[in-house]
């Protein structure tokens, strides 16, 4: 379509104005508000005991969720791509399910299963507290991040096919050897991309985690819960801005990694 | 693809499938089953009463109203942005292109704070939209921005520009060419992006929790209603509204999948 210069400029202005008002100005605004009192104030605000504990809890959850998602995500992808069994279409649909479920609904579902009076509520008597404890936050995070690794690894597995694996097996490699030497190296970029997506979502999950956390400052608050409670409960607007800026920094690092990996993935 | 002989999966195939099924059941299926069971704890009438309670119904209505508005806004602005990113050229275009993904990378609660710092109580530009439906629209437009842009962009990149040039040379004006040639090509991508944005918007919580105000019957959305129902210990109400939200999301995604399948079939027939 040959658009005249004026209409092209009009469209460009409209699109950019929308992005500036919705994205750019709000993001710059919060950066300005965070760093206007100086970097020291920001540093102090994210080094309070509650903030450090929130940071540690968030990282702990990421450290538990990522390995679990890698192991089960790769297993699921292998089963879906290489296996042929009844109900495969159903499994495919279940893997995508978390994308369609609201984070709050995830939290409520977990309460209905693991909470007091829930189907698995009995585990609490065994001293294993899921809801209002760390396991609940971990399970909630796994729920919302479950599709990432599977969906990033699957297309890679389809593409590499089975020829190399068969060759390795012919040469006498065991199943595990083939997996470590052939399959895993071949899918490394897809897997890395899935892991980055998982980390980003785990760092930032709020709705599902807030439903299953007891939300005590210094004990069971993640970074996102800290942002919320500083703004709402403590009326500490600056503290909320500072914590949000910290999270935003982590998100931007993720975004840059994603862009880099995307390039790597398409060239190798 | 049948499993080839000699490529035994580590641990054996049936063990692998069993593991996958157990994992998915414990993490995804059982919680959702428990949720559904709870929502019908008082029978079908109990479910109906919970969903049609005035505040629940109002929350669902606000959610759908605002989500439809946001989806339509996305359909227009998302297509426009995709167009500008593909067909236009200006300094800084690459940066803008990366920026589009920011809402997906940004935690939703941060989106809330970010928008509040500009449009909230101490707004430096004098725009106060917190605790209004406009606040909800802005928050949801923020988190759903990438859907339409990212689904239209690749289609636009691959679109055959010769047809457009032919239309123009036959005397069609810019808008006519767009309406008759470009839009039909883009329509499936726009619809799919818009549908995904809608499905995301109805369940959104983090980005609206601070800016929405949570005023019952005014700005309280379904996810906030659910959260509150849990807090005041009305699990059946929370579960029933949750199941309703799930049902709306599933129907939306199902319709999209059917539409996409039909579009693909039609394309194949043309070929």
Contact A251 B80 (CB under 8 A): no
Report helix, strand or coil for B42: coil
- Which of A7, A112, A231 minimises the CB distance to B174? A7
Helices (H), A128-236: 134-160, 163-170, 175-178, 184-186, 188-204, 207-212, 223-232
Contact A227 B109 (CB under 8 A): yes
pLDDT above 90 (res B138):
yes
**Domain, as residue range, for A128:** 39-267
- Which of B16, B99, B205 minimises the CB distance to A78? B16
The whole-number pLDDT of residue B262 equals 81
Q: Residues of A with CB below 8 A from B108's CB?
A: 103, 204, 206-207
Task: In whole angstroms, give the CA distance from residue B118 to residue B129.
Answer: 10
Contact B138 A113 (CB under 8 A): no
Are B217 and B110 within 8 A, CB to CB? Answer: no
Q: Tens place of pLDDT for every residue, chain A, 268 residues?
A: 456 788 889 999 999 999 999 999 999 989 999 999 999 999 999 999 999 999 999 999 999 999 999 999 999 999 999 888 888 889 988 998 998 899 999 999 999 999 988 889 888 888 788 889 899 999 999 999 999 999 999 999 998 888 888 899 899 888 888 889 888 998 988 999 999 999 999 999 999 999 999 888 888 999 999 999 999 888 899 999 999 999 999 988 888 888 888 787 766 5
The whole-number pLDDT of residue A264 equals 77
The whole-number pLDDT of residue B270 equals 67
- Which of B10, B168, B209 minimises the CB distance to A1? B168
pLDDT above 80 (res B107):
yes
Kindly state whether residues A89 and A205 are assigned to the same domain: yes
A173–B contact, CB cutoff 8 A: no
Kindly state whether residues A31 and A159 are assigned to the same domain: no
Nearest residue in B to A27, CA atom: B114
CA angle B86/B87/B89 to nearest 5° reads 90
The model's pLDDT over B226-247, given as tens digits with 9 standing for 90+, comes to 999 999 999 999 999 999 999 9
The whole-number pLDDT of residue A268 equals 58
Q: Residues of B with CB below 8 A from A253's CB?
A: none
Closest CA relative to residue A198, chosen from A55, A71, A93 = A71
Contact A206 B109 (CB under 8 A): yes
Contact A102 B223 (CB under 8 A): yes
pLDDT above 60 (res B165):
yes
Kindly state whether residues A23 and A155 are assigned to the same domain: no
**Is residue B182 very low, low, confident or very high in pLDDT (cuts 50, 70, 90)?**
confident
Distances in Å between the Cα of A93 and the Cα atoms of B15, B26, B200, B260 are 21, 16, 17, 16
Q: Structure pTM?
A: 0.90
Kindly state whether residues A27 and A99 are assigned to the same domain: no
Kindly state whether residues A5 and A46 are assigned to the same domain: no
Domains and CATH numbers, chain B: 44-270 (1.10.3720.10)
Kindly state whether residues A161 and A238 are assigned to the same domain: yes
A237-267 vs A188-204: helix axis angle to the nearest 10? 170
Contact A1 B2 (CB under 8 A): no
- Beta-strand ranges (E) seen in chain A are none
- Which of A4, A98, A251 minimises the CB distance to B106? A251
Kindly state whether residues A27 and A83 are assigned to the same domain: no
Put simply, the chain A residues between 20 and 39 with a CB less than 8 A from any chain B CB are 22-27, 29-30, 33
- Which of B23, B29, B245 minimises the CB distance to A105? B245
Task: For A129-161, give one letter per residue: b (16+ CB within 10 A) or e.
Answer: ebbbbbbbbbbbbbbbbbbbbbbbbbebbeebe
Kindly state whether residues A19 and A119 are assigned to the same domain: no
The model's pLDDT over A28-62, given as tens digits with 9 standing for 90+, comes to 989 999 999 999 999 999 999 999 999 999 999 99
Contact B114 A251 (CB under 8 A): no
Contact A232 B161 (CB under 8 A): no
Contact A3 B174 (CB under 8 A): yes
B257/chain A closest Cα distance in angstroms: 12
Distances in Å between the Cα of A114 and the Cα atoms of A13, A119, A209, B26, B240 are 52, 7, 14, 11, 18
Helices (H), chain B: 13-24, 30-39, 43-52, 54-87, 93-99, 102-105, 108-119, 133-158, 161-169, 174-177, 183-203, 206-209, 222-231, 235-270
pLDDT above 90 (res B175):
no
Which residue out of B7, B23, B203 would a mutagenesis test of the A interface target, given it has the greatest number of A Cβ atoms within 10 Å? B7
Who wins on pLDDT, B1 or B32?
B32
The whole-number pLDDT of residue A267 equals 65
- Which of A3, A26, A251 minimises the CB distance to B115? A26
Closest CA relative to residue A72, chosen from B29, B16, B12, B31 = B16
pLDDT above 60 (res B2):
no
A228–B contact, CB cutoff 8 A: yes
Domains in chain A: how many in total?
2
Kindly state whether residues A26 and A75 are assigned to the same domain: no
Q: Residues of B with CB below 8 A from A139's CB?
A: 27
For A195, residues 6+ apart whose C-beta sits below 8 A from its C-beta are A66, A69, A70, A148, A149
Neighbours of B193 (CB within 10 A): 27
**Is residue B11 very low, low, confident or very high in pLDDT (cuts 50, 70, 90)?**
low
A200–B contact, CB cutoff 8 A: yes
Contact B32 A175 (CB under 8 A): no
Contact B174 A1 (CB under 8 A): yes
Kindly state whether residues A163 and A216 are assigned to the same domain: yes
Put simply, the chain A residues between 72 and 91 with a CB less than 8 A from any chain B CB are 72, 75-76, 78-79, 81-85, 91
pLDDT above 80 (res B154):
yes
For residue A114, which phi and psi values (nearest 5 degrees)?
A: -105, -15
For B154, residues 6+ apart whose C-beta sits below 8 A from its C-beta are B189
| B3-19: average pLDDT | 65
Who wins on pLDDT, B140 or B6?
B140
Put simply, the chain A residues between 245 and 264 with a CB less than 8 A from any chain B CB are 247-248, 251-252, 254-255, 258-259
Kindly state whether residues A144 and A197 are assigned to the same domain: yes
Kindly state whether residues A15 and A92 are assigned to the same domain: no
A245/chain B closest Cα distance in angstroms: 8
State the complex-level ipTM: 0.90
- Of A172-176, B65-69, B258-262, which gets the smallest average pLDDT? B258-262
| B184-203: average pLDDT | 94
Which residue out of A10, A89, A108 would a mutagenesis test of the B interface target, given it has the greatest number of B Cβ atoms within 10 Å? A108
């Amino acid at each position: 379509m040959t658009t005249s210069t004026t209409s092209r400029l009009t469209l460009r202005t409209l699109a950019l104005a929308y992005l500036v008002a919705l994205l750019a100005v709000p993001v710059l605004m919060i950066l300005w508000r965070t760093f206007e009192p100086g970097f020291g104030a920001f540093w102090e605000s994210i080094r309070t005991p509650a903030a450090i504990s929130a940071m540690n809890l968030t990282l702990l959850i990421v450290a538990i969720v990522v390995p679990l998602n890698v192991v089960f995500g790769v297993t699921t992808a292998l089963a879906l791509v290489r296996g042929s069994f009844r109900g495969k279409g159903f499994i495919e649909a279940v893997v995508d399910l978390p994308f369609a479920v609201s984070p709050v609904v995830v939290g409520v579902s977990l309460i209905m299963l693991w909470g007091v009076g829930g189907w698995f509520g009995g585990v609490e008597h065994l001293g294993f507290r899921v809801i209002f404890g760390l396991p609940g936050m971990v399970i909630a995070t796994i729920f919302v991040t479950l599709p990432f690794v599977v969906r990033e690894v699957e297309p890679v597995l389809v593409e590499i096919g089975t020829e190399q694996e068969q060759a390795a097996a012919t040469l006498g490699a065991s199943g595990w050897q083939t997996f470590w030497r052939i399959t895993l190296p071949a899918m490394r970029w897809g897997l890395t991309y899935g892991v980055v997506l998982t980390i980003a979502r785990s760092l930032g999950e709020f709705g599902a985690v807030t439903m299953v956390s007891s939300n005590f400052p210094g004990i069971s608050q993640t970074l996102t819960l800290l942002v919320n409670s500083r703004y709402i409960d403590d009326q500490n607007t600056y503290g909320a801005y500072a914590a949000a800026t910290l999270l935003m920094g982590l998100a931007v690092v993720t975004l840059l990694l994603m862009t880099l990996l995307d390039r790597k993935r398409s060239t190798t | 693809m049948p499993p080839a002989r000699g490529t035994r999966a580590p641990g054996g195939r049936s063990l692998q499938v069993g593991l996958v099924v157990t994992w998915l059941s414990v993490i995804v299926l059982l919680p959702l089953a428990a949720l559904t069971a709870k929502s019908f704890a008082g029978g079908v009438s109990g479910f109906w009463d919970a969903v049609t309670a005035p505040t629940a119904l109002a929350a669902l209505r606000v959610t759908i109203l605002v989500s439809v508005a946001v989806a339509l806004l996305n359909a227009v602005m998302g297509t426009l942005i995709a167009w500008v990113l593909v067909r236009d050229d200006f300094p800084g275009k690459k940066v803008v292109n990366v920026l589009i993904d920011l809402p997906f990378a940004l935690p939703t609660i941060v989106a809330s704070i970010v928008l509040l710092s500009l449009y909230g109580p101490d707004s430096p530009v004098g725009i106060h939209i917190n605790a209004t439906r406009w606040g909800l629209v802005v928050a949801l437009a923020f988190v759903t921005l990438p859907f339409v842009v990212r689904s239209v962009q690749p289609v636009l990149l691959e679109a055959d520009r010769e047809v457009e040039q032919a239309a123009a040379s036959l005397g069609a004006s810019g808008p006519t060419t767009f309406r008759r040639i470009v839009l039909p090509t883009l329509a499936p991508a726009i619809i799919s992006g818009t549908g995904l944005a809608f499905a995301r918007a109805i369940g959104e919580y983090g980005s609206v929790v601070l800016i929405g105000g949570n005023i019952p019957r005014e700005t309280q959305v379904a996810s906030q209603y659910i959260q509150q129902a849990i807090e005041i210990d009305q699990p059946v109400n929370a579960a029933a509204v949750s199941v309703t939200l799930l049902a709306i999301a599933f129907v939306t995604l199902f319709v999209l999948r059917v539409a996409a399948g039909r579009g693909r079939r039609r394309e194949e027939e043309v070929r």
